[in-house]
Structure 1
């Protein structure tokens, strides 16, 4: 038997088994997006191959490795994807072969050409890629790559390990996220402003006339709404403070019935659930400030053929809120599990689902109207499904507006952020300063500090000059301790595999977020210290 797409159902089952855990994170549509992705890795270093490993295993569609170096004994010591027999062979070719053995469904190619030549002679080379991952690049080459990808609107993830320090930088001009998967998501029950169908159904139920069994199986959304109406009649407004909500919970408890049994009194679990849900279920129906700012921006956009579908849907959503929604977002259509009989729970569940479908249908019609005005070229794929997903997740929309690495390195940097963090001697930001300084050192002396053992003492002095010059350019005093300078010279730009493995996993997470369009990527610099096993993210 075959599915509608023509793929044997047994194959779908096998894939579901293979990718079961990740499908729970980003769903079938997220997996499809990942399998359509094409990622380019620049330099198959330990950090680079660890990043690709964590992309190949979950089923990324295609990978391309650009690397013009040969395998060295140092690679054998820190890179799991090279072998001692391959010393002297093309590193990108060797690592690609071993990486693809992890997942035969992933396709891969290898380019043995210097990146500088590609940047100079093939400006459109990076156009097909969903994302580019760069490792082990000198500062001048990184800045050129940054500029090229920024202008092409292709995301760039820079991952780097330097001794015991890890660095991750995500460069994106604009990244929109519909399915951000927020932590500790609150239910959307609308008890403070129920939609007509829900209010009509709840009003039709009389808790006092129910027998004990029926009374103990009423969904708590019904209980809380009825108690809320009593509370408002007595107090004039919904409970807002902790003290008021505690009193409200006691009012709910007063409506609970007890029944004698051979083992003592039995309580009604639905009422207990309602009491536990008071703090979340009674939250006022509002639009989060982050989402409101997105909607305000969308309302000022005049749709054109180049407008992203996200902004067209956001504009339609804004129009829904100002008219049909009466100041509220569309109903999400999902409710928590509740102790209740199947008939009543399914009835309440369907009321929320039907209202969510009506709200999404209104937004869909507005999106279609906007799309038709833009002509046949502007077609949003899977339009109905996209709008439903957009409306369901409207409370957690996110937009990241980034800064290019080239812009950051040329002086457009958040100096107040740097100054405030450097006042803390334990801040991970000191390692950002040190990495910037060693890059300047490499640009000037054509080697990283400490790389040649017989020059360590000289390099310490030189690196200190680079650090102080960098801080002076930022208007900061010489506040970096000499211990950090000695530490960087001790590393000599070595990659430690355990640090590379950790940073490669972090980088792969960010690539997956970019490719699937789910979860919120780092904005924009992440620093990890294996010395203290701590990390921090900075928006510089």
Structure 2
């Protein structure tokens, strides 16, 4: 079986370049507990090339109740080797290696397979001092880092993806309707729209006018009639009336029948009237990407060099270079072909200018990266992650605690910080005692006091005791069902970071399985 056959489903999902990135990646997991096993199961099935498991723990009876990648025959054997063996059965094409060593010995970072495309992961009840040291070392070596922790029904994971970029953001559509440029048409597009004489079109052509031409004519006319600079949803009655004014009467209508022709082009214009409201603006992801670019300055990496060139283009024209596409429409073939050609020619012209700009700065970009950026320029994105040691200590913003769900997840965020401080002081997770309960509650109170700008909601104070008692009840132990689902979520986010597609989480994900709540905290 070839790799293309083996990974057919993944290739259909994230394309050949995404699968190539997965197969070129390396993941090192410091630990082999049930969380590590569940996470690695997902990554191995994706086709990660190199998996390294570092642990000197042996398989115990407790593992048999929580870790599905060990069995009774492996009791007393090294757990990392056992997990590696069973993971290999899932995908023999992945190189899965077990290293028998203490997972808190940072010597594993010297592994020659680790580079800037690698990920180091940790799990469980670890001291924040160790995680902080690991965070510093990963930053020094430009290795990405994540930590996942669950206990009972609660979970949290934290991600440091370094300076990250992605080409294909989370937009579901392949064609951005805003790039039809109704609000900011370029001269060639205006020329095409104006070339369509609606009155002289035959019935077949008139009923299938490309809807951007209708919206352009409506907008241009209403701006003059209403003497305004922009249209808003408050003008919807005028907009719809103006669109309907282009409808053509039937020549011989039946009695009591609709006297107007069926005109899909006009119907599409009605469906898309939002495209003529407001002013043109950058897509949100591109805007955030430009902000990251301004923050990091010149970076000798093709993606960020293309971003800088695109920023210069945007500053000059107040528009992105066009990506060259055009969505399907209920339009006449002749009109649609001409419209597609207008957008394609505009794109070629824009990107020729980008190319010349890069050449003038002696910047060379490979053709595959250039084309991928061009196709996705409207949904590119960039994130400058914070070091993991900072993310681990981040408190929820007060203004985010506004309803039951956000308050409960805010407590989870506080709770995991308090638990790690308990582990630092006591070398163990909290147990189900009044002493441990009181310690955690006191630590959360200290964290609460840091929120000096406003008082936390009263419900936060009431609910936190329930959450602390529930956490203590599990004594730091995990529930297999919670681990399986939450580790799969982390695997999804790590995969996004590896393949540079979709918009990954920016730092923290919190999970409350009791109430079925999940939230991303930047």
Matched residue, 1:7: none
Q: Which moved more, 1:513-522 or 1:235-244?
A: 235-244
Residues 111, 159 of structure 1: CA spacing in aligned structure 2 closer, same or farther, 3 A cutoff? Answer: same
**2: CA distance, partners of 1:316 / 1:268:** 42
**Are positions 1:97 and 2:92 aligned together?**
no
Shift of 1:245: 3.0
The one of 258, 263, 266 equivalent to 1:268 is: 263
Shift of 1:220: 1.3
Contact 1:153 1:172 in 2 (8 A): no
**2: CA distance, partners of 1:421 / 1:300:** 29
Residues 418, 50 of structure 1: CA spacing in aligned structure 2 closer, same or farther, 3 A cutoff? Answer: farther
Residues 469, 297 of structure 1: CA spacing in aligned structure 2 closer, same or farther, 3 A cutoff? Answer: closer
The one of 388, 407, 412 equivalent to 1:431 is: 412
Contact 2:482 2:513 in 1 (8 A): yes
Residues 237, 24 of structure 1: CA spacing in aligned structure 2 closer, same or farther, 3 A cutoff? Answer: farther
Residues 124, 433 of structure 1: CA spacing in aligned structure 2 closer, same or farther, 3 A cutoff? Answer: farther
Residues 19, 69 of structure 1: CA spacing in aligned structure 2 closer, same or farther, 3 A cutoff? Answer: same
Residues 355, 81 of structure 1: CA spacing in aligned structure 2 closer, same or farther, 3 A cutoff? Answer: same
The one of 239, 251, 256 equivalent to 2:247 is: 256
The one of 347, 351, 355 equivalent to 1:360 is: 351
Matched residue, 1:523: 506
**2: CA distance, partners of 1:297 / 1:159:** 26
Matched residue, 2:273: 278
Contact 1:334 1:353 in 2 (8 A): yes
Contact 2:116 2:142 in 1 (8 A): no
**2: CA distance, partners of 1:226 / 1:40:** 59
Residues 213, 13 of structure 1: CA spacing in aligned structure 2 closer, same or farther, 3 A cutoff? Answer: farther
**Are positions 1:112 and 2:100 aligned together?**
yes
Matched residue, 2:437: 460
Shift of 1:157: 1.5
Pairs within 5 Å for 1:366-385: 366-372=357-363, 380=365, 383-385=366-368
Residues 392, 534 of structure 1: CA spacing in aligned structure 2 closer, same or farther, 3 A cutoff? Answer: same
Shift of 1:474: 7.1
Shift of 1:466: 4.5
TM-score of the superposition, structure 1-length normalised?
A: 0.84
Residues 69, 262 of structure 1: CA spacing in aligned structure 2 closer, same or farther, 3 A cutoff? Answer: farther
Matched residue, 1:154: 143
Residues 273, 418 of structure 1: CA spacing in aligned structure 2 closer, same or farther, 3 A cutoff? Answer: closer
**1: CA distance, partners of 2:218 / 2:203:** 18
Could you tell me which runs of 5 or more consecutive residues in structure 1 were left unpaired when the two chains were aligned: 1-9, 373-378
Pairs within 5 Å for 1:76-225: 76-119=64-107, 122=110, 126-127=114-115, 130-139=118-127, 140-182=129-171, 186-225=177-216
**1: CA distance, partners of 2:268 / 2:477:** 56
Residues 114, 126 of structure 1: CA spacing in aligned structure 2 closer, same or farther, 3 A cutoff? Answer: farther
Could you list the per-position Cα deviations for residues 181-228 of structure 1 after superposition, in whole angstroms to 9, with x for gaps in the alignment? 236754311123322332222222211111111211222122222333
Pairs within 5 Å for 1:228-239: 228-237=219-228
Contact 1:239 1:248 in 2 (8 A): no
Contact 2:230 2:278 in 1 (8 A): no
**2: CA distance, partners of 1:270 / 1:147:** 59
**2: CA distance, partners of 1:12 / 1:537:** 34
Contact 2:146 2:388 in 1 (8 A): no
Residues 194, 73 of structure 1: CA spacing in aligned structure 2 closer, same or farther, 3 A cutoff? Answer: same
Contact 1:40 1:129 in 2 (8 A): no
SS in 2 for 1:336: coil
Shift of 1:128: 6.6
Could you list the per-position Cα deviations for residues 249-284 of structure 1 after superposition, in whole angstroms to 9, with x for gaps in the alignment? 221112112435779545111210111111135553
Could you list the per-position Cα deviations for residues 123-166 of structure 1 after superposition, in whole angstroms to 9, with x for gaps in the alignment? 87743752122112521322221111122222112112111101
The one of 417, 424, 427 equivalent to 2:397 is: 417
Residues 132, 362 of structure 1: CA spacing in aligned structure 2 closer, same or farther, 3 A cutoff? Answer: same
Contact 1:68 1:91 in 2 (8 A): yes
**1: CA distance, partners of 2:497 / 2:359:** 27
Could you list the per-position Cα deviations for residues 17-61 of structure 1 after superposition, in whole angstroms to 9, with x for gaps in the alignment? x533x4454332222222222111221222222212222222222
Contact 1:258 1:267 in 2 (8 A): no
**Are positions 1:314 and 2:307 aligned together?**
yes
SS in 2 for 1:494: coil
Shift of 1:99: 2.0
Find runs of 4+ consecutive structure 1 residues off by over 6 angstroms: 299-302, 422-425, 473-478
Q: Which moved more, 1:268-277 or 1:464-473?
A: 464-473
Residues 31, 361 of structure 1: CA spacing in aligned structure 2 closer, same or farther, 3 A cutoff? Answer: farther
Shift of 1:117: 2.9
Q: Which moved more, 1:103-112 or 1:160-169?
A: 103-112
The one of 317, 329, 338 equivalent to 1:347 is: 338
Matched residue, 2:519: 536
**1: CA distance, partners of 2:114 / 2:4:** 35
Matched residue, 2:329: 338
SS in 2 for 1:159: strand
**2: CA distance, partners of 1:440 / 1:302:** 37
Please report the RMSD computed on the Cα atoms of aligned residues, expressed in angstroms: 3.2
**2: CA distance, partners of 1:258 / 1:187:** 31
Residues 218, 400 of structure 1: CA spacing in aligned structure 2 closer, same or farther, 3 A cutoff? Answer: same
Q: Which moved more, 1:289-298 or 1:439-448?
A: 289-298
**1: CA distance, partners of 2:447 / 2:314:** 49
